[in-house]
Amino acid sequence: MASPTGADCAALLLDTIPPLMRALRREASEGNAAELSVLQFRTLSYLSRNDGAALGEIAGTFDLSPPTLSKTVDGLVRRGLVRRASPDEDRRRLSLSLTREGRDLTAQVRRRIQGRLAVRFDELSAAQRSTVHEALQALTEVFATPKATA
């Protein structure tokens, strides 16, 4: 069998993403004692990796409008999971960061989702898990930095 082309990989990825996202949403919502929406969890996760991010930066990453994301952030602020701050050097820019409660909750939910996904991956053979792991590492490298499109 010939080696798959980039187009073959792209087609398979496009076919794989919808069921994968459904599984992630299902795992995120089952047993969700914190009652976080997927968007709330994604926002908390983003802030756990990008402390001090601006609303527009997060909205752009999620392909949402700032007003849409603002409602989500408002709810997280009201719950005491996110804090807004204005850096002294630019009072117009609001930076967002997790509170201690936000960090703890994000870690807790992430551990729960990761544990539930691990059960699914454990259904694969060791060789299949190795292949999946290598492929995910490659995808992370390829898509970690967005490429400019012509």
User: pLDDT (tens digit, 9 = 90+) per residue, 83-123?
Assistant: 998 766 665 678 999 999 999 999 998 898 899 889 999 99
Angle between helices 6-29 and 100-121 (to 10 degrees): 120
CA distance 95 to 55: 7
- The parent domain of residue 88 ranges over 36-137
Closest CA to 62 of 77, 73, 74: 73
- Assigned domain for 100 exists: yes
Residue 95: strand pairing partners: 85
How much is the pLDDT for 118? 93
* pLDDT at 41 exceeding the cut of 60: yes
- Assigned domain for 105 exists: yes
* pLDDT at 23 exceeding the cut of 70: yes
Question: Which residue type sits at 101?
Answer: E
Angle between helices 38-49 and 100-121 (to 10 degrees): 110
Name the average pLDDT for the chain: 88
> Residue 99: which CATH number?
1.10.10.10
